[in-house]
Amino acid sequence: MTSGSDLRTLRKNRSLTLAQLAEAMGRSLGWMSQVERDVSRINSDDLLKLARILDVAPSLLRQPQAEAPQEEGRIVRAGRRRAVGHRFEGLTEALISPDLTDSFEIVHSSFLPGHSLPEPVRRETQEIGFMLAGQLDLSFGDQTFTVGPGDSFRIRNEPYSWSNPYSETAVALWVISPPIY
């Protein structure tokens, strides 16, 4: 089962109308509307196609399973986080937020030793990162900063890149607004 509210958030944050997404999917507007309202289920092929169109990991579009009904939308147990990172080798990411319906999302990121972002990226977001472990080199234009445990950083809609040339995995928590994963 998909999470229709998360799908709606991702679609809107990419400035896509429901009709545009339905067309990209090769499906009717009514079907797409039902999927966003959690009325219709989608098959695995449609899930993969949606993930490609929205440029997210397929696991992000799956309905998260709460440990207990009263925890749904409130509690995310460590073993039930949704994987979101799939874009870059050496980077593993999981959604800490219960869903994407808030004006922000929180992501747990692990950067493996010896890996780096192949090219700078720019996202139309505001982001705050907090380092939990290891060290990470962050580059903004011609400036590079090394951050470690307890350090934080901000990225505002600007190109940046990361590198972990160190021997330890770097771990960070990111708060990202608006939700993009």
Q: What is the pLDDT of residue 44?
A: 86
Partners of 82 in beta bridges: 95
Q: What is the pLDDT of residue 114?
A: 97
Q: What is the pLDDT of residue 106?
A: 95
CB atoms within 10 A of CB 150: 8
Supply the pTM of this predicted model.
Answer: 0.76
Q: What is the pLDDT of residue 133?
A: 98
Q: What is the pLDDT of residue 40?
A: 85
Strand order in the sheet with 136-140: 115-116, 161-164, 136-140, 143-147
Task: For Cα atoms 69, 173, 61, give the angle at the middle one, nearest 5 degrees.
Answer: 45
C-alpha span between 31 and 75 (Å, rounded): 30
* pLDDT tens for the 181 residues of the chain, in order: 457 888 888 888 888 999 999 999 999 999 999 988 888 888 889 988 998 898 887 877 776 666 677 888 888 888 888 888 666 889 999 999 988 888 999 999 999 999 999 899 998 899 999 999 999 999 998 999 999 999 999 999 999 999 999 999 999 999 999 988 7
Partners of 136 in beta bridges: 147
Q: What is the DSSP string of 83-140?
A: E---SSTTEEEEE-SS-S-SS-EEEEEEE-TTEE-SS-B--SSEEEEEEEES-EEEEE
Please, which residues have CB within 8 angstroms of residue 44's CB and are 6 or more apart in sequence? none
Sign of CA pseudo-dihedral 37, 43, 49, 55: positive
